[in-house]
Amino acid sequence: MTTGQARAWERNWSRLGKTVAELPPGALDVDDWFGRDAPLVLEIGPGMGETTAELAAAAPAVNYLAVEVYQPGLAQLMMRAEERGLENLRLLRGDAVVLLERHIEPGSLAEVRIFYPDPWPKARHHKRRLVQPGFVALVADRLTAGGVLRMATDWEHYAEQMLAVCAAEPRLHNLHDGWAPRPEWRRVTKFEQRARQAGRISRDLAFERVP
């Protein structure tokens, strides 16, 4: 981490962050952590947090959870949260699947966001991709009725895989005829801009949990 990131971590982690592997058994007491009862949004893989901080700031009425394995990214996100004075953002370091399986209650998430997950582009590595049938079934179980799974990727094959896997999950309904329009509230990050320069087209998906 940079010096600034390390200082942000030291100042804020005890209040804003938790490590998934160190959570006590059972459901995470989200209301106690945030100090209120509000719709819960989970973002998986916020990276360096440039979009996450904006999204949390734009929706003060929701409790925003971000889970990431990359410590410098979480530290950078804490710096952004500190600069904006965000009170509705909490961070988790560790495996999102473990978090969902062991610490998030069924029917408790208003939204799950997965923007630009690792595409594992080589065919022999496709099994490592996050969006697989078992994972999507887990997300569907944790979403409340009417809750939404939103995803985006700039890798065409992965986008097609996401679409097929989510369409095959009986508890999810595609909110659009195929690809979703790019939401205006999701800013173009440096990462996405580089993808555009490389000629890769981003595709969005939005699936709703049916009752």
Tell me, what's the pLDDT at 188? 84
Tell me, what's the pLDDT at 194? 83
Listed in order, strand segments (DSSP E) in the chain are 17-19, 40-44, 63-68, 89-93, 109-115, 143-153, 172-174, 203-209
Taking the C-alpha atoms of residue 154 and residue 179, their distance in angstroms, rounded to an integer, is 12
Tell me, what's the pLDDT at 190? 78
Tell me, what's the pLDDT at 31? 96
Taking the C-alpha atoms of residue 38 and residue 34, their distance in angstroms, rounded to an integer, is 9
Taking the C-alpha atoms of residue 174 and residue 127, their distance in angstroms, rounded to an integer, is 24
Taking the C-alpha atoms of residue 88 and residue 127, their distance in angstroms, rounded to an integer, is 34
Q: Tokens at residue 12, please?
A: 């804020």
pTM: 0.95
Residues with a catalytic annotation lie at 118
CATH number for domain 3-209, candidates 3.30.70.20, 3.50.50.60, 3.40.50.150, 2.70.210.12: 3.40.50.150
Tell me, what's the pLDDT at 123? 86
* pLDDT of the chain, 211 residues: tens digit per residue: 899 999 999 999 999 999 999 999 999 999 999 999 999 999 999 988 889 999 999 999 999 999 999 999 999 999 999 999 999 999 999 999 999 999 999 999 999 999 999 987 888 989 999 999 999 999 999 999 999 999 999 999 999 999 999 999 999 999 998 999 999 898 887 778 888 888 889 999 999 999 9
Tell me, what's the pLDDT at 52? 94
